[in-house]
A and B are shown apart, each in its own frame.
Chain A
Amino acid sequence: MSDSPMAPPRSFLWSRRIFLTLLTGFVLVPVYVMVSSSLKPLADVTGTFRWLPSGLTLRPYVDIWSTVPLATYFVNSLIVAGAATICSVMIAVFAAYAVSRYDFRGKRVFTVTVLSTQMFPGILFLLPLFLIYVNIGNATGIALFGSRGGLILTYLTFSLPFSIWMLIGYFDSVPRELDEAALVDGCGPLGALLRIVVPAAIPGIVAVAVYAFMTAWGEVLFASVMTDDTTRTLAVGLQGYSTLNDVYWNQIMAASLVVSVPVVAGFLLLQRYLVAGLTAGAVK
């Protein structure tokens, strides 16, 4: 629209200005509260709210690590979300390649089933899954309940349906002639996938990885039931600050900021891939 012969009318420009200004305010206020409160002394966050801190302090950022074992939670979240992302992306790439490039019996059933799992209320399979993990543990000695492994397994399936769906669309947009050429050259189907299709679909794969990581990093329900003291993730651990007698809001805000920075930074760096990936895949 930008190089259309007619410039947009004033009414459009003004509506845009007003709407985007209000929206920016709505988006920014909580972010501002988070950042500014994390730098306030305790007195500022226990009394009436102040827009401006009476003095700036980095104390909350020092104290958060000793009030609750935040470092342990951080490492747990990093391991769980990282492993879930890597596994989820690999599995989704294989599955999406099969659906995109082959005709086989049950293809439609597979895609519909996988997608419909998105509809399940998490609460429906929370308890059964809990029982399955406990029973697998009792029968085989593989500790899934209370371990990071069980959480990794659970989280990677959360992002799998959306990842497969998006990558199918993305792989479809990679011309078939390219992998046919690779097959003629003797690559084999897996070679064609890894050498031709995957490199061409990097934006889509990055987008899927970002999505998978965010899903795992932010999940609360299963984390609150399936972890114990040593495997607790940030999603549950962060609530530790508010169960204390005094609510250290400045520390809570500092901790929230610290746990947000990795995902928000990663997301903003890679968001152009996400938009490109969605454009080519999901919303085609």
Chain B
Amino acid sequence: MTTTAFKEPVRETSPAATREPRRRTGRIRRTSLPYLLLLPALLLELLVHLVPMVIGIVMSFKELTQFYIRDWGSAPWSGLGNYKVSVDFDAPVGEALLHSFFVTVGFTLLSVGLCWLIGTAAAVFMQDTFRGRGLLRALFLVPYALPVYAAVITWVFMFQHDNGLVNHVLHDQLHLTGKPSFWLIGDNSFYALLTVSVWKGWPFAFLIVTAGLQNIPRELYEAAALDGAGTWQQIRRITLPSLRPVNQVLVLVLFLWTFNDFNTPYVLFGKAAPEAADLVSVHIYQASFVTWNFGTGSAMSVLLLLFLLVVTGGYLLLTSRGRRAFDV
């Protein structure tokens, strides 16, 4: 990409060249300049992410029900009460949360694994130019480009019991099922959610891996070919190892996005997700907005955040160390 930068002509001297006498103010300005440049981003992140997060943590220690929503500051403190309710796995609330957590972990692992696998395979297969590659690449990005709700609504239609495509194909045309199945309620809903999530998610992996492949020096392949390595061997020995750093970030990002995904299950199932596909984000949304118990909802969110922090930290530690050992 640096070549495009060089093509850009360096502009003519601007009239503001006579600034020599004000060097001292210039230096002060120079040290504060980076902060000034960062200020808008910082303020917005504070307002929309960090301050709400702190308030959310405070709220998790309060008994915040609908009676106090107008003036949440006056809600009584409840200490660790909300947390105790959330992790009391013998009581209904805690049990439901634990179930939802396991569903989410299983769903996330499967979805990320499949997205990564399909995305990488497609990117590697499309590394060579062939006729129609550009068209295919554009086509593959369509699920990613579609707005979530438009794509998911289409899947809702396809999963309909009476007039959907899935039952028509599986039952009417292939006769695989004895009678038409329900996809959006009951145990099947897990697979419905997984299908939609993979359909929407794999193009992102494809996009990132495609970009990552372009940074692998061509000479590596040429050298390997001279040494007699075939296509499959080149993929195994050069392509996949070279993608390690890209994969490290890609898998983490996919994991966090999938784990926190609210849009897909919310549009797919509406406000009440079936038990088999009760993802934790929708679960907490329900616990907060349907039962109006925001204190418990906040405590659950904080627990979720702690879990994600631990997983992310552990993951980065593990993969970085692995990579260092690999490099040596």
Instruction: Enumerate chain A residues within 8 angstroms of B136, measured Cβ to Cβ.
Output: 20, 24
Binds A, one of B95-103, B182-190, B227-235: B227-235
Binds B, one of A54-62, A64-72, A90-98: A90-98
A191 lies within 8 A of B53 (CB)? no
A30 lies within 8 A of B48 (CB)? no
Question: In whole angstroms, how far apart are the Cα atoms of A25 and B287 in the complex?
Answer: 39
Contacts between chains A and B (CB distance < 8 A), count:
335
The reply to whether the CB of B251 lies closer than 8 angstroms to some CB of chain A is: no
Number of residues of chain A lying within 8 A (CB) of chain B: 117
Instruction: Enumerate chain A residues within 8 angstroms of B240, measured Cβ to Cβ.
Output: none
The residues in B between 23 and 42 inclusive whose CB is less than 8 angstroms from any CB of A are 30-31, 33-35, 37-38, 40-42
Question: In whole angstroms, how far apart are the Cα atoms of A192 and B31 in the complex?
Answer: 16
Not counting A1-B127, A117-B45, A279-B214, a sample of 16 additional A-B residue pairs whose C-beta atoms are within 8 angstroms of each other reads A26-B199, A30-B154, A30-B155, A49-B165, A117-B49, A119-B312, A120-B305, A121-B308, A132-B47, A153-B48, A156-B44, A175-B5, A187-B14, A268-B138, A278-B208, A283-B246
Instruction: Enumerate chain B residues within 8 angstroms of A175, measured Cβ to Cβ.
Output: 2, 5-6
Which chain B residues have a beta carbon within 8 Å of chain A's beta carbons? 1-2, 4-6, 8, 10-19, 30-31, 33-35, 37-38, 40-42, 44-45, 47-53, 55-56, 59, 72, 118, 121-122, 125-129, 136-151, 153-158, 160, 162-165, 167-168, 172, 199, 207-208, 210-212, 214-215, 218, 221-222, 225-226, 230-232, 234, 245-246, 249, 253, 256, 260, 262-263, 266-267, 280-281, 284-285, 288-289, 294, 297-298, 301-302, 304-305, 308-309, 312
B52 lies within 8 A of A283 (CB)? no
The reply to whether the CB of A245 lies closer than 8 angstroms to some CB of chain B is: no
Which chain A residues have a beta carbon within 8 Å of chain B's beta carbons? 1-2, 4-6, 8-9, 11-12, 15-16, 19-20, 23-24, 26-31, 33-34, 37, 45-49, 91-92, 94-95, 97-99, 101-102, 104, 107, 110, 113-114, 117-129, 131-132, 153-154, 156-157, 160-161, 164, 170, 173-175, 178, 181-182, 185-189, 191, 195-196, 199-200, 203, 214, 217-221, 224-225, 234-235, 238-239, 242, 249, 252-253, 256-257, 259-260, 263-264, 267-268, 271, 274-276, 278-280, 282-284
Nearest CB on B from A222, distance (A): 10
Question: In whole angstroms, how far apart are the Cα atoms of A263 and B143 in the complex?
Answer: 11
